[in-house]
């Protein structure tokens, strides 16, 4: 009897069995994380672990992750609240100039880094997710880039307001 060359057995697709990510509260203040990462993420983690050896000598995964998240959050906050806030109400090329950092910081400080949109029920949105700066009077309608004419809105409310204001202006000129 002739022996057939054995077929290479494909490895069990672990990813299909284990959920990709899982968060499990263990006790008040402790949460178990389980996730699957690619090689690049693993290499980045190992690199950071080595770089942080003086701060986290044990290489404890939770401590290294905490450090990475702290740095990332700080960096994203800076980008969002200082130099990277987009102005979605701006339409023409002439109005896409950056808002000076000093103005951005004042507006965010005044508005408490949360969406200032007030709904029909009188409740403020207050979202801190995807914040943008909005010209109360759009630049296209002669609005200035000043602390007084800027406000913090979440992305959804910025789009909503931008369409409403420009829509009203369009309706006014059409009549």
Binding footprint of Zn ion on the chain (CB under 5 A)? 115, 117, 125, 127, 154, 157
Nearest distance from C-beta of residue 18 to Zn ion, angstroms: 37
Q: Pick the closest to residue 80 from 115, 131, 136 (CA basis).
A: 131
Nearest distance from C-beta of residue 81 to Zn ion, angstroms: 16
CA triple 121-123-125, angle to 5 deg: 125
* Residue closer to Zn ion, measured from CB, 104 or 161: 161
* Residue closer to Zn ion, measured from CB, 81 or 117: 117
- What contacts 24+ positions apart, CB below 8 Å, involve 75-81? 80/131, 81/105, 81/108, 81/113, 81/131
Nearest distance from C-beta of residue 153 to Zn ion, angstroms: 6
CA torsion sign for 36, 42, 44, 47 is positive
* Residue closer to Zn ion, measured from CB, 87 or 115: 115
CB 47 within 8 A of CB 59: no
* Residue closer to Zn ion, measured from CB, 113 or 125: 125
Nearest distance from C-beta of residue 156 to Zn ion, angstroms: 6
């Amino acid at each position: 009897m002739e022996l057939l060359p054995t077929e290479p057995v494909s490895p069990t697709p672990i990813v299909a069995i284990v959920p990709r990510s899982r968060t499990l509260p263990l006790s008040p203040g402790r949460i178990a994380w389980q996730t699957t990462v690619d090689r690049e993420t693993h290499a980045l983690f190992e690199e950071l672990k080595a770089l942080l050896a003086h701060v986290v000598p044990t290489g404890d995964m939770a401590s290294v992750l905490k450090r990475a998240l702290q740095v990332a959050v700080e960096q994203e906050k800076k980008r969002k609240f200082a130099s990277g806030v987009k102005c979605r109400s701006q339409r023409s090329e002439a109005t896409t100039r950056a808002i000076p950092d000093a103005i951005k910081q004042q507006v965010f400080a005044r508005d408490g880094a949360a969406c200032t949109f007030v709904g029909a029920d009188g409740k403020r949105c207050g979202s801190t997710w995807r914040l943008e700066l909005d010209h109360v009077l759009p630049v296209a309608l002669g609005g200035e880039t000043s602390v007084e004419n800027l406000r913090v809105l979440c992305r959804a409310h910025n789009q909503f307001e931008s369409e409403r204001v420009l829509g009203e202006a369009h309706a006014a000129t059409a009549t």
